[in-house]
Structure 1
Amino acid sequence: MTDERSPDAPDTDDHSTGEDAGDEPPADDLEGEQELEELSLDEFHDACQQAGRPVLTAASVAQALELPHETASEALVGLTARGDIERLAVETDPVVWYPSELEDLTDRERVVVFPKRREIIVDRPEQFTRAQLSQFAHLADGNGEDGYRYVVRPEDIWQAPHDSFEGLARTMRQALGQRSNALEEWVESQWDRAHQFRLATHEDGYTVLEAKTPEVMGNVARQKLDEEHVHAPISETEDWVREGAEAAIKRILYEAGYPVQDHRDLEAGESLSIDLEVRLRDYQQTWVDRFAEAGEGVFVGPPGSGKTIAAMGAMAHVGGETLVLVPSRDLARQWAESIAEYTSLEPHQIGQYHGGRKEVRPVTIATYQIAGMDRHRSLFDDREWGLVVFDECQHVPSDVYRRSTHLQSRHRLGLSASPIREDDRQTEIFTLVGPPIGTDWEALFEAGFVAEPELEIRYVPWGDDEQQNAYVSADGREKYRIAAKNRGKIDDVRYLLSAHPDSKAIVFVDYLEQGRDLAAALDVPFLSGETPHHERRRLLEEFRRNERDLLIISRVGDEGIDLPTADLAIIASGLGGSRRQGTQRAGRTMRPAGGALVYVLATYGTREEDFARKQLQHLGRKGMTIREQTVDRSREADSGDE
């Protein structure tokens, strides 16, 4: 006779019997068991994690936690008595146990902690919980469908905005609604690591590396550093630092798992009274407050979240002369205009230093390339800056831009929508500039500060046999290039523009040839690096004033210029380049006004299709909804005839 159990019924172990499961001792019996260790809810969750389901038998708990069956049963009764879990007797199966939160899973916030994985799953999180979690955890998956997954990483603890571990522990308990001893022990160990080393200024003016104990100095710092970084030991816990080696020391020890506290007495720079003449949003004020506590940091948020305005709030807080570093002269001009518009500074107090202008003033906006050149460095080195701002700071680890980080200032601030790099050197951003400070994208979407665009990947067929045949015979990177320039995309761009006739649209391309072909087919300008600066400015201003409703733009639009708001973005090629590029391009429509659309075109059945899907996963984890559509050319032709 076969056992016709429901496929949803919990599994049982061979050695468990109905008698074992149904005759658990009452809760009162636990008082006489002196050697029984109390089972915590965290341990029950660990057992759930191992079993892969939230409903367990006593035998499953015993096996997962390596406890005697009787001990596990009695401990489960104790958890039930405290109200942490529930029990349910099933007719043909042992008693099963499950977390009490499952009773009202659908109508309230639920937080589940997995200490061993250092993960926190939150369903229906309240804004308060998100704010608390952001202080010590990283939002790894924010699509909301399967809950929000936070990961607690070492760097999150190293950069937590607290003066003591006790303060951080209180924040954790408020966010989790419980005390997780195992997680707190690990967090405390990381907190301790972050306070083992510090840079300080000696009374004679030079920099000293100080260690908390002789052991950590000898076993870590003096094993990792050499004569390029330090002159000689001063004591068992102090080393004399070579001038200019501070950034390298911070990076080396950070990579070794020991972030360095920077307590040097850097010059504050000339004072400069700055008033912000626009009110910060609550989350922007939080960014500025956290920057004020740390003295440095990187504002991380999606395009449209107001990082530039928040940076001006940081300038007002510092109240000192400020150097702003940007990737291009177009951004330098836009920064100068914005500072004049949103702060109390007069135009004569704001200078630009790049290939077109050479002005050093109390607030100076310069390009990274210029600031890194030897013949210009002295102009910036000789001035005592109160603050250096690194815009688009994901570039800072690159060899060209890195030299600008040697400029000394009392405070430094980075700005980035996506501080990730394909060479995995993103941790250097935070060692060279400061810890990440930001609000998760999903929270900004839900609060209405930034509109979440509708994003769709469209798999487009080949436009002609010639390109398809060339793709088949090509190798490596050439395959991707041919697929990206698929001439069939021109027809799909036409279709999308006709389907949204009232939208202001930007079409992005990676290749100049493709941009010229699209411009000729659609009879619109193509804005690229070859376009003179005055012509770029004219075209963008026409677009802003609604005198033009379509532009085709090359990579120059990713970061080098401040693009106007668009209702429709069509990415004809380019997302295969990097996750950061995908964020920048898709993010061009993220503004407070809603209804924006982003279409990503990828040639069907090619490497470009795989690249696009992979790169957009990064945006999906930030909370954006992504659809996929295979283009049927005949159907589109029919709809066009209508």
Structure 2
Amino acid sequence: MSYNINNPIIIQSDKTLLLEVNNDLYEEVRDQISRFAELEKSPEYIHTYKISPLSLWNAASSGMSSQKILEILENYSKYEVPQNVIKDIEHNIEKYGKIKLIKEDNRLILICDDKYIMTEILNYKSMDKYILEKIDESKVIINSLMRGSIKQFLIKLGYPVEDLAGYIEGAKFETTLRKKTLQGGSLTIRDYQKEAADIFYANGTAKGGSGVIVLPCGAGKTITAMATMDKINTETLILTTNITALRQWKSEIIDKMNIKEKDIGEYSGEIKEIKPITITTYQILTYRKSSVSEFAHMKLFNDKKWGFIIYDEVHTLPAPIFRAVADIQATRRLGLTATLVREDKKEDDVFTLIGPKKYDVPWKVLEKQGWIATAECREIRVAMPENLKMEYAVGESAKKFRIASENYSKIDVLKDLINVHKNDSILIIGQYVQQLNIIAKEFNLPLITGKTKNVDREELYHKFKNGEVKILVVSKVANYAIDLPDANVAVQVSGTFGSRQEEAQRLGRILRPKGGDNKAYFYSVVTADSREQEFASKRQLFLTEQGYRYIIENR
């Protein structure tokens, strides 16, 4: 095959892809390669992607073949694709599904037609605890209570298991969608929401029923989940990030599904209801009196015969929940997220225990179709004040980051932005409560932090929605699942080091479709030439991969 020097990719033997940003094919290629590679660096002119086993297994689980991946690389590469990269792609794509879990005569069977691979994995002493009986050289009977644990063990060996052992049906309960919402509007499921639900459900076969749907904030993940509930029609447990999200889920289900309010339970710090549809939070499930106490509410997973469990914002799933999920692999489970990025590097646990990525769509595709707002992203760099420079110079790394994050010069930028957007609905978001208190007092603005009572929180959100309050100052409690559809400006004054997921979630707060020009503005105010600026470039990686470009402005 002849290669074209004008193509935008250079493929290196260490499985990194260098993508030219200024190439005419940049956007087209970015959307193609993000299906099987992860963005690692995004300076101005060359973006670096990495092909990893997990990125390839997610691609394989969504139906991508090695031939399709290699075709994309060959079509867009400047030079010949290195042979070791070709072999590695073929090898890892082939690995997915090489080992399967199936059900035979009500027994859990691990099966592998490659006798050498089966011999290799059975040779590990750690495998003994999972195996009840060897049938032949390609099949062994596995302890059904260890369905999740053996998948975790095998992926660490480099063998992702395709789980085809099926699911319990759970207690039947009708969860159909309404034709018209209680608010009086027609309920229309968008094409991509329907497609995502169909792919997840897979006509009820063992090929579907567990996995993750990746959609940007504001693209209707909740409705997509309800479309899957409509197919499964069973008692359902929904896990959310906080009490605000819990109650938003409840109101959405009441409005859009043929389910009576009395059949929807809230299981929270305030109320302990278990109903056919029960909504809870990660906080309540991971609550315990001390570090050595039992998790008091984890039994909720087994208190009913759930046929379906939904994990909202699955990228935030706490470690104790992973342990519980490992024990309930026979229950259909859906993860919802805007990004599979986890700062704790537990993406393989999400893949193994919740399921592989089933559906993903680039954010810019939905933006072009008008389903999410067009966002303009700006990084505004401010100078370090003279009186902070010495303290910064002698500080440890974490201290430097905090000094830069709380730089009081950011107040002047806020004044300008509030003036520019005086007719807009603005969220000012930050990491440090002390900094946010200063901002709230300076501008006489309402403040929401983790300590704000739920009733006060709900009242402020309501006032923001109806326009009584135009500007809210919010801590990291605003990172997840706040339904503020009219918010069209977000100003980030500080964040959690280099957290890519947090950056994505914060932009997501303003992406719900708007009237008029359907435009949103995201500002990240950082201290120039500081640790904060270094971390800002890391924070922006995921959004850069989705096609967002940060305009840099120096003040």
Q: What TM-score results when the alignment is normalised by the length of structure 1?
A: 0.73
> CA 1:159 to 1:327, structure 2 compared with 1: closer, same or farther past 3 Å?
same
Q: What is the CA–CA distance in structure 2 between the aligned matches of 1:177 and 1:471, rounded to whole Å?
A: 49
Q: CA deviation at 1:576?
A: 2.5
Q: What is the CA–CA distance in structure 2 between the aligned matches of 1:239 and 1:347, rounded to whole Å?
A: 47
1:142 and 1:442 in contact (8 A); partners too: no
Q: Secondary structure at the match of 2:461?
A: helix
Partner amino acid for 1:285?
A: K
Post-superposition Cα deviations, 1:81-111, rounded to whole Å, max 9, x if no partner, equal: xxxxxxxxxxxxxxxxxxxxx7xxxxxxx89
Q: CA deviation at 1:516?
A: 1.0
Q: Secondary structure at the match of 2:412?
A: helix
2:506 corresponds to which of 566, 585, 591:
585
> CA 1:533 to 1:258, structure 2 compared with 1: closer, same or farther past 3 Å?
same
Does residue 115 of structure 2 align to residue 219 of structure 1? no
Structural mapping, 1:84-103, within 5 Å: none
Structural mapping, 1:363-382, within 5 Å: 363-372=277-286, 374-382=295-303
Which residue does 2:236 correspond to in 1?
322
Does residue 95 of structure 2 align to residue 193 of structure 1? yes
Q: What is the CA–CA distance in structure 1 between the aligned matches of 2:141 and 2:342, rounded to whole Å?
A: 33
Contiguous gaps of at least 5 residues in structure 1: 1-39, 49-53, 55-101, 103-109, 632-642
2:427 and 2:471 in contact (8 A); partners too: yes
Q: What is the CA–CA distance in structure 2 between the aligned matches of 1:282 and 1:539, rounded to whole Å?
A: 34
1:209 and 1:241 in contact (8 A); partners too: yes
Does residue 356 of structure 2 align to residue 446 of structure 1? no
Does residue 442 of structure 2 align to residue 521 of structure 1? yes
Which residue does 1:570 correspond to in 2?
491
2:397 and 2:531 in contact (8 A); partners too: no
Q: What is the CA–CA distance in structure 1 between the aligned matches of 2:70 and 2:190, rounded to whole Å?
A: 25
Which residue does 1:598 correspond to in 2?
522
> CA 1:218 to 1:560, structure 2 compared with 1: closer, same or farther past 3 Å?
same
Partner amino acid for 1:623?
A: G
Q: CA deviation at 1:525?
A: 1.3
Does residue 141 of structure 2 align to residue 240 of structure 1? yes
Does residue 554 of structure 2 align to residue 630 of structure 1? yes
1:322 and 1:386 in contact (8 A); partners too: yes
Q: What is the CA–CA distance in structure 1 between the aligned matches of 2:103 and 2:51, rounded to whole Å?
A: 33
Q: What is the CA–CA distance in structure 1 between the aligned matches of 2:33 and 2:58, rounded to whole Å?
A: 13
Which residue does 1:306 correspond to in 2?
220
Structural mapping, 1:450-469, within 5 Å: 450-463=372-385, 465=387, 467-469=388-390
Q: CA deviation at 1:510?
A: 0.9
Contiguous gaps of at least 5 residues in structure 2: 179-186, 203-207, 287-293
Structural mapping, 1:333-348, within 5 Å: 333-348=247-262
* Bigger mean CA offset, 366-375 vs 469-478: 366-375
Q: CA deviation at 1:626?
A: 0.5
* Bigger mean CA offset, 181-190 vs 208-217: 181-190
Structural mapping, 1:218-617, within 5 Å: 218-223=119-124, 225-277=126-178, 278-293=187-202, 294-372=208-286, 374-396=295-317, 398-405=318-325, 406-436=327-357, 437-463=359-385, 465=387, 467-559=388-480, 561-574=482-495, 576-593=497-514, 594-617=518-541
> CA 1:525 to 1:464, structure 2 compared with 1: closer, same or farther past 3 Å?
farther
Post-superposition Cα deviations, 1:1-42, rounded to whole Å, max 9, x if no partner, equal: xxxxxxxxxxxxxxxxxxxxxxxxxxxxxxxxxxxxxxx33x
What is the aligned-residue RMSD (CA, Å)?
3.6
1:458 and 1:630 in contact (8 A); partners too: yes
Post-superposition Cα deviations, 1:518-550, rounded to whole Å, max 9, x if no partner, equal: 111111111001100000000000000111101
* Bigger mean CA offset, 354-363 vs 147-156: 147-156
Partner amino acid for 2:437?
A: R
Which residue does 1:137 correspond to in 2?
36
Q: What is the CA–CA distance in structure 2 between the aligned matches of 1:431 and 1:336, rounded to whole Å?
A: 29
Partner amino acid for 1:292?
A: Y
1:132 and 1:172 in contact (8 A); partners too: no
Q: Secondary structure at the match of 1:536?
A: helix
Q: CA deviation at 1:153?
A: 5.0
Q: What is the CA–CA distance in structure 1 between the aligned matches of 2:159 and 2:295, rounded to whole Å?
A: 32
Q: What is the CA–CA distance in structure 2 between the aligned matches of 1:378 and 1:246, rounded to whole Å?
A: 19
> CA 1:553 to 1:291, structure 2 compared with 1: closer, same or farther past 3 Å?
same
Post-superposition Cα deviations, 1:450-508, rounded to whole Å, max 9, x if no partner, equal: 2231111111234562x333223322211111121112212221121112211111111
1:111 and 1:176 in contact (8 A); partners too: no
Partner amino acid for 2:224?
A: A
Post-superposition Cα deviations, 1:58-95, rounded to whole Å, max 9, x if no partner, equal: xxxxxxxxxxxxxxxxxxxxxxxxxxxxxxxxxxxxxx
Q: CA deviation at 1:441?
A: 1.7
Partner amino acid for 1:195?
A: G
Partner amino acid for 1:194?
A: Y
Q: What is the CA–CA distance in structure 1 between the aligned matches of 2:210 and 2:430, rounded to whole Å?
A: 36
Q: What is the CA–CA distance in structure 2 between the aligned matches of 1:112 and 1:432, rounded to whole Å?
A: 34
Q: How many residues align?
A: 523
2:285 and 2:296 in contact (8 A); partners too: no
Q: What TM-score results when the alignment is normalised by the length of structure 2?
A: 0.83
Q: CA deviation at 1:390?
A: 0.8
> CA 1:443 to 1:541, structure 2 compared with 1: closer, same or farther past 3 Å?
same
Q: CA deviation at 1:126?
A: 12
Partner amino acid for 1:599?
A: Y
2:102 and 2:166 in contact (8 A); partners too: yes
1:369 and 1:400 in contact (8 A); partners too: no
Q: What is the CA–CA distance in structure 2 between the aligned matches of 1:190 and 1:520, rounded to whole Å?
A: 55
Identity %: 28
Q: Which has the higher contact order (CA 8 A, sep 6+)?
A: 2
